[in-house]
Amino acid sequence: WGNLDQIKARLQENLDDGASQLVINTIRPDGQPGPDWNALEALAPAA
């Protein structure tokens, strides 16, 4: 939970603690079923 920066920080904490994989389950802001592709794109690692 939280804003984009808070979520990115928590994901990075897990990676820093040794995680090799993370699962991200997003919820669409409009309440419709399916992933929030904008959130997933924003949280994707830099290429």
Residue 24 Rama label (left phi>0; alpha psi -120 to 50; beta): beta
What pLDDT is recorded for position 25?
A: 93
| Closest CA relative to residue 8, chosen from 42, 34, 35 | 42
Indicate the pTM of the whole model: 0.77
pLDDT of residue 46: 80
pLDDT digits (tens, 9 = 90+) for 11-40: 999 999 999 999 999 999 999 999 999 999
Predicted confidence (pLDDT) at residue 7 exceeds the cutoff of 70? yes
For residues 43 and 2, give the distance between their C-alpha atoms in angstroms, rounded to a whole number.
Answer: 13
Whose structure tokens read 């919820």?
Answer: 27
